[in-house]
Amino acid sequence: MRVNVIAWDNGLGLSRHLRLLAGALRASGHDVTMTGLRRSNWRKLERRIKLGTRNVWNHALGDRGWARHDVNLLIEHIRPEFLPTARRNVLLPHPEWFLDSDRALLPRIDAVFAQTQHAVAIFERLGQRVLYTGFTSEDRRDVSVPRERAFFHLAGRSQNKGSERLLALWCKHPEWPCLTVIQNPKSATPCTPAANIEHHIDYLDDAALQRLQNAHWFHLCPSETEGYGHYLVEAMGIGAVVLTTDAAPMNEFITATRGLRVACTRSGRQNLATTHYFDDAAMEQTIAQALALSDADLARLGGAARVWFEDNARAFPQRVDTALQALSR
């Protein structure tokens, strides 16, 4: 099957999505094109599209003819300019970024591939045909890196990771072990200096980031919402003990047998997603629970997380292939 994977190539999570999905499709034997949109190439394409002719589309997207793909897989947003270039169009949405403009275009979508069970329910309520595929993440494990009983929080550029509240809570507990936080300079707010906080507001090369991920037993992932959650799933792949928000979809990944969950006391909305905010007292209790874990407990929880990661990674290409084959039925 000829499949075009389309996403904004932002150098962050969407770029990772683009690459991982294309790899899974190729592993299943599909002929894959990756269309990574950037400001430079998108402006050129828009200028061509405005001319409004079929020949312009063929020139912009290739010379294989009209409807050159069997399926377009559109990650996060529906891009109407691409819809005529495939026989079927499928959306892989992130509910928290699903806009009113996307919702208006839903009747032109043949199916939704849901990355979480939470997304299945959301888009079924909107009357869509939904097929669960899940997703996968990079394998970041490096067993050569010594692991310490310390805490790691990879905030990146996201505003939905609970980072500021986590840092404020850590400042109240000088007795807690070191918390290492990695944030993008474009979104970070410097916290109050504390002896047990290492707050990196800068860009790290990939090797340095991978070393930090593997050097910590505890990964704090108190997300308010997730479309999928690469930083959470990567932590599971490392075999870390993950602490996350006890709300959907985060608690689909972290169960009592493969991590620790933190209760929430309030919620909000972001587009189609419900946002959830951890309770400070519950976070303090969960940190105490983490610190009380024995070496055997760490190995058990981290090992179960790694098994889930491996099973999910093996199953993902088949799930996507099965969903694609179902489009014709």
Residue 130, pLDDT > 60, answer yes
Q: Mean of the pLDDT values across residues 219-234?
A: 95
Pairing of strands 216-221, 241-245: parallel
pTM of the model: 0.90
Q: How confident is the model over 81-115, as pLDDT tens digits?
A: 999 999 999 999 999 999 999 999 999 999 999 99
Confidence of residue 67 (pLDDT cuts 50, 70, 90): low
Section 51-66 average pLDDT: 44
Going by C-beta distance under 8 Å and a sequence separation of 6 or more, which residues neighbour residue 211?
142, 145
- Residue 10's contacts (CB-CB under 8 Å, 6 or more residues apart) are none
CATH fold for domain 2-137+314-326? Rossmann fold (3.40.50)
Domain locations in the chain as residue ranges: 2-137+314-326, 148-312
CA distance 186 to 51: 36
Classify residue 27 as left (phi > 0), alpha (psi -120 to 50) or beta: alpha
pLDDT the model gives residue 66: 54
* 148-312 to CATH, choices 3.40.50.2000, 3.10.20.740, 3.40.50.2300, 2.30.38.10: 3.40.50.2000
The reply to whether 2-137+314-326 and 148-312 are identical in fold is yes
Q: 262: Cβ–Cβ under 8 A, 6 or more apart, which residues? A: 222, 243, 244, 245, 246, 278, 279, 282, 283, 286
Residue 270 binned pLDDT confidence (cut-offs 50, 70, 90): very high
Average pLDDT on 42-49 reads 53
